[in-house]
Homo-oligomer: A and B are copies of this chain.
Amino acid sequence: MLTELTPQECVDFVNSASLGHLACAQEGQPYSVPVRFACEYPYLYSFSMPGQKIEWMRANPQVCLSVLELKSDHDWRSVIVTGRFEELPDTPELHTTHHHAWTLLQSRPNWWEPGAIKPDTTPGTTSVAPVFYRIHMAHLTGRRSSPS
């Protein structure tokens, strides 16, 4: 049986998740990649090494995150989040928020995975600094399939 999730169920689901597929867009071309995150509604925190995703989100902060929990083919939850990218540089103005993001993310076991580093670099030895960012979640919709 397929049902819509309530707004609160969407928030609870995303708050408990840590892996999603984040889509951005440039000149009509979407680009979607798996990301690890830490969520404290209404913000979702993550980081990445500089690259296409970061460049595109800097140019156009409109993003969409798709999160799926698939227990079995007939037992799953899916939430779609539309929101806005906000970079969190370690400036005096944003230091507290940057540090909060860092604290949340470094407590996760999957710190470096997946897509957070570039191939052929070793975690911890790269000289390029990761970009911390958050997604301000504006709209969430979700569905649940339950075994009938």
Residues of A within 8 A of B (CB): 2-4, 19, 21-25, 28-34, 60, 62-66, 68, 70, 73-74, 76, 78, 80, 82, 109-110, 113-115, 117-121, 143, 145
Assembly of this chain: how many copies? 2
Taking a contact as CB atoms closer than 8 A, the residue among B3, B31, B118 that contacts A64 in the complex is B31
- Given contact pairs A2-B121, A23-B66, A30-B32, a sample of 7 additional A-B residue pairs in the complex whose CB atoms are under 8 Å apart: A3-B119, A21-B66, A21-B68, A23-B23, A23-B64, A25-B29, A114-B145
* B80/A32 in contact, CB under 8 A: yes
**Nearest-CB residue, chain B, relative to A113:** B73
* A74/B113 in contact, CB under 8 A: yes
